[in-house]
A and B are shown apart, each in its own frame.
Chain A
Amino acid sequence: QKEVEQDPGPLSVPEGAIVSLNCTYSNSAFQYFMWYRQYSRKGPELLMYTYSSGNKEDGRFTAQVDKSSKYISLFIRDSQPSDSATYLCAMYSGRAQKLVFGQGTRLTINP
């Protein structure tokens, strides 16, 4: 079993829709949770990060962490075609600096 599970999709939604992306994990030691966005043939870029449980909002993006369920989510409101990319969840424990990634979900926003 992988430490971090993420549905690879692909996911296709119309412009303006609310997008929900999710990951589950098995290692209860994970404390730092991130979402990266990766455009085709580019490196991953940090989108959101959250420490421990709770919500964090940045513009159209909201990250949620539920440590009791070992479940994290990323919501995108008013989705735009420019949001089309692969979204990767990632996390690490702090004691170990290894950032462990999910498989990534390929998202397409259709105009």
Chain B
Amino acid sequence: DAGVIQSPRHEVTEMGQEVTLRCKPISGHDYLFWYRQTMMRGLELLIYFNNNVPIDDSGMPEDRFSAKMPNASFSTLKIQPSEPRDSAVYFCASRRARGGYGYTFGSGTRLTVV
């Protein structure tokens, strides 16, 4: 079990550029979650999917953020255009629907927008 895999680990981009973060959940997990972590706000849920379908995107800060899950093994979080206030660590997590109380997190993508 390779765990939840995120890429890239670090991303530095200029304001206004498009940023795409990637996530591969654990095989067999039905749910996928995108979180953002900052010192000021802690861990915030942005969006989550169940069986590749977006269920709740109420945490997505604004229209500049979008997320997709084209299949069970891949998801993307896109920011276009990026702004300095988007700088944070973005985590992807997954879990099984049955008997899977624990959410397994990836190592995160540290995004810096300059």
Contacts and interface: CB of A to CB of B under 8 A. Distances in A.
A51 B102 CA distance: 11
Interface of B: 4, 31, 33, 42-43, 45, 48, 50, 55-56, 91, 93, 101-108, 110
9 contacts: A34-B102, A43-B91, A43-B105, A44-B43, A49-B101, A97-B31, A97-B50, A99-B103, A103-B42
A100 B42 contact: no
A42 interface: yes
Interface residues of A, number: 22
Nearest to B106: A43
Interface of A: 32, 34, 36, 41-46, 49, 51, 88, 90, 96-104
A102 B103 contact: no
Contact of A49 (B45, B102, B104): B102
A75 B33 CA distance: 28
